Amino acid sequence: MLQQIILPKQPLWIFAYGSLMWNPGFTYAEKQTVRIYGHHRALCVWSWHYRGSREQPGLVFGLDQGGSCVGKAFRIKAKDQKEVLQYLYAREMITQVYRPSLVTIHLVTEDEIQALTFVVDRRHPQYAGHLHHDILLQTIQRAHGSRGPNHEYVRNTLDHLKSIGYQDRQLQRLGMPKSVPDL
């Protein structure tokens, strides 16, 4: 599975836009706040495992077509690359809803480099597309998966974005409280 994409020569960077930003789960040598163009962060993936179930799907972020996205980039040491890639593929490719892809990240130094990320596959059955605000909110409030409540995932992402000085207006419109009562 690791051969699906030809990785750039050293160093390997990983672009994170959802839970990998605040819970990478792997060793890295450096992290930076970066931006990519051509994709945007969207709650467009039905979650059947981590933040929901088949009976009560949750929603998680995917990189969808168009726009731009602020996130975190992690530089991986050469000695850790194989282990990190195996971990990421096991975590992100559990149902094959994402396509491993190389994107150009724009570093604070204004350098542009290639980074590995996971872009949503719009042909996959878990692709939710653009959902109405009320459906997003209702789904996030009710869903719960193996990694916890869906609302915690969304809140943690929103809080992390605020901590790096980025305001995501679409997420803020969801009005996610610190905790959501059971419905």
Give 98-126 pLDDT, tens digit per residue.
999 999 999 888 889 999 999 999 999 99
The answer for residues whose C-beta is within 8 angstroms of residue 180's C-beta and 6 or more apart is 140, 141, 149, 151
| Chain centroid, CA 14 distance in Å | 11
The band of 172, judged by pLDDT with boundaries at 50, 70 and 90, is confident
**DSSP string of 120-171, one letter each residue:** E-TTSTTB--S--HHHHHHHHHH-EETTEEHHHHHHHHHHHHHHTT---HHH
Give me the pLDDT at residue 177, please: 56
The band of 174, judged by pLDDT with boundaries at 50, 70 and 90, is confident
Would residue 30 show up in a list of annotated catalytic residues for this protein? no
Domains and CATH numbers, the chain: 10-168 (3.10.490.10)
Over residues 56-70, the pLDDT tens digits come to: 999 999 999 999 999
Q: Which two tokens stand for residue 59?
A: 């929603």
Given the residues 30, 83, 92, 110, select the one marked as catalytic.
92
3-state secondary structure of 16: strand
- Statement: the pTM of the whole predicted model exceeds 0.85: yes
Over residues 20-36, the pLDDT tens digits come to: 999 999 999 999 999 99
Tell me which DSSP letter residue 81 carries: H
